[in-house]
Structure 1
Amino acid sequence: MSSSVTLRQFWTGLSAEGRWLLSTVAVQTLGRGLTLPFTVIYLHEVRGFSLDLAGTLMAFIAIVALAVTGPGGALTDRIGARRVLLFSTTCQLIGCAVLAFATTPVVAAVAMAFLGINFGMSWPAFNSLIAAVTTGEQRQQYFGINFALVNLGIGVGGVIGGIYADVSEPHTFTVIFLADAASMLVPIALLLGPLRGVTGHHEAPDDDTSDGSYLAILRSPAVIGMTALTFMAVFVGYGQLEAGFPAYARQVGEVSTAVIGFSFAINTAVIVLLQFLVLRRIAGHRRTRVMLVMCAIWAVSYVALGATGVLPGPVAAACVLAYMGLFALGETMMQPTIPAITNDMAPDHLRGRYNAVNAGAFQAGAICGPLFAGVVLDRGWSSAYIVVLVASCGLIAVLALVVERLIPATVNGIPDESVPVVDPATGEHAPHGRQRD
């Protein structure tokens, strides 16, 4: 699949199952967007929990998710991605419904446990299901477009939730959490209907001598390299986006909360508007080289963020917006490449475990990133904060080059010349796109 593939050709080239899976993403994530930005507000201002307790309950989701990711990956390989997704999505539905009426910390904790089970188990299962309905360059494009649709759904849901929810009217929060629960009926119906034949389950080949354990998987240098690369990318990226960035922008840059809020809208807009364009530009390039470009863009973005500490108010605000726009552009390069490499590297019968390892690295980075930001910024080491993040972008680049030496060219996004390419628009064999670095 060359860089000239249009969105229409991509859609035409998908299997019926792939179209069903992709077409409902924005709908089901819209429900998540209704509640995601307001859960802490709901717990604190509506249910009367202290901020410390509300924060602990939110962290409990991540703890549960990390605990069940490994078992979720193993179950995906043993019973199939579809069944695991049905279970995890049902847990999300239950968690949202319970949280809608959670008036005590114990009930809220039960709800958070169900949400954590979904977050931890759905990741390896969903990525494995995507891999089951896509191949090659189409898989990379699918991951990217899925990411854009997730952001679109959450962004629209956040706007609707912000307009509707009112802390002086507690029932409005009950409504949005119940709406979030109801949105889970969409993927459940999909998995029970059009996708019931896509199990995502594969038997191990007869000549496979490995035991398929996580320990055996982690003995692979390529897996170790991808795990380290994912951890660092999330530590530098998402680990700072929700904690370090707003704290730095407020305390050091002294920009308004309105500017910070608008910057997140820019983040969503850049991803939704540019993701497919980026996918067309990176098609045929080595995925690890795409990561190098991402590193350069993120390094510049953190320089822009650092400039807010020395520039006057209006210019500092512009730098915050520039940071978020550049960061989002980097996201459009990261999100298609890391899962595509992971799933192209994984044997079919171990794809759940490979995705679980990658998800664990992602979750660890998302936990360690905010901890680092809190410690450094609380001590007033704002310059050191920026220096470490820019240097870490360099480390990600080094890891990407290490991974490049450890994985086959086909896993790295270079087409196999021995396999004919089919033009999705005509169904005829087409010449391979020129291989590029």
Structure 2
Amino acid sequence: MKPVHEEMRTIDKQINLKWLLTGALLSSIGMSFIWPLTSVYLHDRLGISLTTVGVVLLFNSLASILGSYIGGTLYDKRNPYHLIIIGVSVATATLFTLIFYHGWPIFGILLFVNGLASGWNLTIVNSIGTSIKSLDARYVFNMLYFAQNLGVVIGTSIVGFVYSISITLLFVIATGLFGLFELVVIMTYKPAANVRRQSGSGGRVTQNHPALPKVNTIILTTFFVSLLIIWTMYQQWVSNLSVYMTSLYIPLKNYSFLWTINAGLIVLIQLIINWIARHHENLIGQILFGIAMITSSFIILIFAKTYPLFVGAMIVLTIGEATTFPTIPALVNSLTPIETKGRYQGLINAWSSAGRALGPLFGGIIIETWSYTSLFIIASLAISLTLILITLLWSVSQHRITFYH
């Protein structure tokens, strides 16, 4: 295995983080114009059954998984600049087509294509983030996470208003946002191609990828499975908690306000984490703390019958997600050599997308078979097991782990 200093390569010019964040923000706003209203539009406007809607959403998630994996794999072999242009172009073309053709079944087909492009673009953007050597990886991924969440806040806050005016206008604005994203990519992302020059020439990486140490492989696999479990449980907040709260006679607007709290706290927490990152570096400690907080949020839900307890659970959940989700890509980055960074960043998004796809179905089965309380207990236990497994595995193997820069 090569020493750490031999893994460090000189990059003549790096992509500016502000442009990477701008792209992530525009993409997130644009996508937030689509996913929140997919079910409502298909069911209420097009008269599609909820079962069919579920199938459409499942295939959209599967497309995102596929796009993430393919994008990450190609990142390690091809020119990232060309890859991001392809991904954004496909997304823009899909949204442009939706302006004129948004009936059934073309909407479902285009949603699948958009899912492919979404997974592809997210992975390529995150992978390009690994090439910014002038900044701490934790800071880069924290800021990407912040930009993506800010986009969700902006998009979801106005999508309902635009939808009430015209579904066509919704697609026009989304297309315009991705058109801006493409313009930013063409004008500012070209330095991303430099990372390929570190490992090969002519825009390709040599096929002799260094073998990843066995310990690193085991830890990475553990992280991926943990992401699957955590995201499966996290989706209960998105998909099933609203029904549970309304069954307790808590207004739906109060449930929506929980996500306003979530968005505001993420902004604050990211500022705090970035400050901590300048003085302390303990990625695994940060991840374990975050997973413990996510577990605690579900423990609170077991006993939650009044709105203040749901608010408390959301605060704890937000601290956990803002601490964990952007830190895992940073740690995975340090556990993988430059030749395979794209592949493993893609796997992060793929396993996370798989959890998001399985979440609603898993929760529905548990609720119908037992109860909401049973769901929260199972979620608490499952996430606790990932916390214990990661802690034990890291404690036993930390001295044999190979770190890369």
Q: State TM-score, norm by structure 2.
A: 0.85
- Paired position in structure 1 for 2:254: 259
- Paired position in structure 1 for 2:98: 99
* Separation in structure 2 between the aligned mates of residue 411 and residue 298 of structure 1, nearest angstrom: 28
In structure 2, relative to structure 1, the CA distance for the partners of 1:165 and 1:188 (3 Å cut) is: same
Deviation digits for residues 26-55 of structure 1 (CA, Å, limit 9, x no counterpart): 344222223332222222223333333333
Deviation digits for residues 157-209 of structure 1 (CA, Å, limit 9, x no counterpart): 2112222321xx5xx11111121121112221222112212224256589x99
Q: Amino acid of the residue matched to residue 225 of structure 1?
A: T
Q: Amino acid of the residue matched to residue 226 of structure 2?
A: L
- Paired position in structure 2 for 1:303: 299
- Paired position in structure 2 for 1:196: 190
Deviation digits for residues 330-386 of structure 1 (CA, Å, limit 9, x no counterpart): 111012211101112221121111112222221222223222211111223233212
In structure 2, relative to structure 1, the CA distance for the partners of 1:232 and 1:297 (3 Å cut) is: same
Task: Kindly state the Cα deviation for residue 267 of structure 1 after the two structures are TM-superposed.
Answer: 0.9
Q: State TM-score, norm by structure 1.
A: 0.79
- 1:139 aligns with one of 134, 137, 140: 137
* Separation in structure 2 between the aligned mates of residue 395 and residue 363 of structure 1, nearest angstrom: 21
Question: Is 1:162 the equivalent of 2:160?
Answer: yes
- 1:177 aligns with one of 171, 180, 198: 171
**For the Cα contact (< 8 Å) 2:15–2:189, is it kept in 1?**
no
Q: CA RMSD in A?
A: 3.2
In structure 2, relative to structure 1, the CA distance for the partners of 1:24 and 1:221 (3 Å cut) is: closer
* Separation in structure 2 between the aligned mates of residue 344 and residue 408 of structure 1, nearest angstrom: 15
**For the Cα contact (< 8 Å) 1:240–1:373, is it kept in 2?**
yes
- Paired position in structure 2 for 1:227: 224
- Paired position in structure 1 for 2:149: 151
In structure 2, relative to structure 1, the CA distance for the partners of 1:399 and 1:87 (3 Å cut) is: farther
For 2:196, what is the secondary structure of its paired residue? coil
Residue segments in structure 2 that go unaligned for 5+ positions in a row: 1-12
Task: Kindly state the Cα deviation for residue 233 of structure 1 after the two structures are TM-superposed.
Answer: 2.6
- Paired position in structure 1 for 2:7: none
**For the Cα contact (< 8 Å) 1:141–1:336, is it kept in 2?**
no
- Paired position in structure 2 for 1:434: none
Q: Amino acid of the residue matched to residue 323 of structure 1?
A: A
* Separation in structure 2 between the aligned mates of residue 279 and residue 235 of structure 1, nearest angstrom: 27
* Separation in structure 1 between the aligned mates of residue 214 and residue 67 of structure 2, nearest angstrom: 18
* Separation in structure 2 between the aligned mates of residue 301 and residue 281 of structure 1, nearest angstrom: 23
**For the Cα contact (< 8 Å) 1:345–1:407, is it kept in 2?**
no
Deviation digits for residues 127-149 of structure 1 (CA, Å, limit 9, x no counterpart): 1111112456x211121122122
Task: Kindly state the Cα deviation for residue 150 of structure 1 after the two structures are TM-superposed.
Answer: 1.5
* Separation in structure 2 between the aligned mates of residue 339 and residue 186 of structure 1, nearest angstrom: 27
**For the Cα contact (< 8 Å) 1:302–1:323, is it kept in 2?**
yes
Question: Is 1:48 the equivalent of 2:47?
Answer: yes
**For the Cα contact (< 8 Å) 1:95–1:113, is it kept in 2?**
no
* Separation in structure 1 between the aligned mates of residue 311 and residue 402 of structure 2, nearest angstrom: 35
**For the Cα contact (< 8 Å) 2:25–2:150, is it kept in 1?**
yes
* Separation in structure 2 between the aligned mates of residue 190 and residue 209 of structure 1, nearest angstrom: 29
In structure 2, relative to structure 1, the CA distance for the partners of 1:296 and 1:215 (3 Å cut) is: closer
For 2:370, what is the secondary structure of its paired residue? coil
Task: Kindly state the Cα deviation for residue 210 of structure 1 after the two structures are TM-superposed.
Answer: 8.2
* Separation in structure 2 between the aligned mates of residue 280 and residue 83 of structure 1, nearest angstrom: 35
* Separation in structure 2 between the aligned mates of residue 210 and residue 103 of structure 1, nearest angstrom: 43
Give the 4+ runs in structure 1 shifted more than 6 A: 213-219, 408-413
Q: Amino acid of the residue matched to residue 162 of structure 1?
A: G
